[in-house]
Structure formats: C-alpha cells, structure tokens
Amino acid sequence: MKEQASKIKVTEKHLIEAAKLNPARFAPIYDHYYKQIFLFIFKKVRNEELTADITSKVFLKALLNLSKYEDRGFPFSSWLYRIASNEVNMHYRKANKKQEVELNENDLQTLLDEVSSSSTDEQMELVINGLNQLPLEQMDLIDLRFFEKRSFREIGEIIGTTEGNAKIKVYRALDKLKKIILPKS
C-alpha cells in the first residue's frame, strides 16, 4: 500500500515536471483532477454552467502559473483547491452575493457532533442556517475540514498558512458557529 502511494507521488511529480517543461503535457493533470475540483466548486455555487466556467479558470490559472508551483510535501491537489477556493470567493465578491452551503446528512451529522450535544432535525436546521451566516472564509474552513475531510496540514497549505494556524482558524470558525446556533445560557 505504501509502495503504491510512493509510485503515485513519483508519477504525479513526473507529470508536473513534464508539464512545466511543455504546457502541452498538462492534459493528464487536468484529466486526473478535473472531477474533484469541479465537484468542490459545484458544492459551493450549485450551478453547473457557472461551475464549469470557474473550473476552467482554475485550470487555466494552474497552467499559466505551473512554473511557480513548488512541491512542499502536500498533494498537488492542495494547490488546485487553493486556486479554486480563491476563484469561488472572487466570484461571490464580484457578484456581491453570499455563498450558501449544501450538505449531505452524514457531513451534517459530523459537524453537528462537533458543535452540539444533541442532533435533532431542529438542531440540523440551526447548523445549516448558522453556516450560511458565517463569513465566506470561515465557511470554507469548515467545508475543507468536515466535508472535504482535509487534514489541518493540507488546509494550511490551501489557505497559505501553517498547520497550527489552520487548526486555530478552524476551531475559531466552529466557536463562531456555536455562538450562532446555541442559545445563550
């Protein structure tokens, strides 16, 4: 299993280096990551046409800036998620809209277990409403940690900070969510 993972990393590194030397070799990277980046963006914008537009911008920026990419021990996908997150945020800023969250029940239950001791339908509704009240950056942090199942280290890479700072930011976002959804005692 570990041997297979190292083969995948070597292959990924090889693909990236080949694409850096010749942009025509970017296609395998695009093919490998397109679906997961598309789904990440779709979950945030919930419009297939808009998702396709933003996804194309993500891969164009990745291609144009591939020479600047440095392997820092994180998956290449972290860099793509960072670009995608920035593009989605830029879209919402330009459109002057607030991002809404769409969750599946298992993801919601995981988050609910983190912020509350009970898990009724009413609590689930409160969590969804609370998430929609968070600033976009905090909503992204919760999304990456609880719904995308990213490590604090990878979240740090995506948002451009340290692992420890990413952890602090995630828990501050959770604290803010708790203040929104839990009644004052």
Per DSSP, 184 falls in state P
Topology (CATH) of 2-95: Rna Polymerase Sigma Factor; Chain: A (1.10.1740)
pTM of this structure: 0.64
User: Is the pLDDT assigned to residue 6 strictly greater than 70?
Assistant: no
Quote the percentage of the chain above a pLDDT of 70.
79
The pair of three-digit structure tokens given for residue 179, joined into one six-digit string: 């203040």
pLDDT class of 152 with cuts at 50, 70, 90: very high
The whole-number average pLDDT for the span 61-71 is 91
The third-level CATH classification (topology) of the domain covering 105-181 is: Butyryl-CoA Dehydrogenase, subunit A; domain 3 (1.20.140)
Question: Could you tell me the two tokens for 93?
Answer: 């800023």
Q: At how many degrees (to 10) do helices 27-45 and 76-95 cross? A: 40
Mean pLDDT of 57-72: 91
Query: What is the rounded distance in angstroms from the CA atom of residue 158 to the CA atom of residue 140?
Result: 10
Judge whether residue 35 has pLDDT over 60: yes
Provide CATH 1.10.1740.10 ranges for the chain: 2-95
Q: Distance between terminal CA atoms of the chain?
A: 50
Mean pLDDT taken over the chain? 81
The confidence score (pLDDT) of residue 106 equals 59
Q: What mean pLDDT is predicted for residues 88-95? A: 86
pLDDT confidence tier of residue 10, bands split at 50, 70 and 90? very low
Q: Is the pLDDT of residue 9 over 80?
A: no
**pLDDT(28) > 60:** yes
Where do the CATH 1.20.140.160 domains begin and end in the chain? Answer: 105-181
CA 150/CA 17 separation, integer angstroms:
25
Tell me the CA distances in angstroms from 47 to 51, 62, 89, one per residue in order. Answer: 6, 22, 15
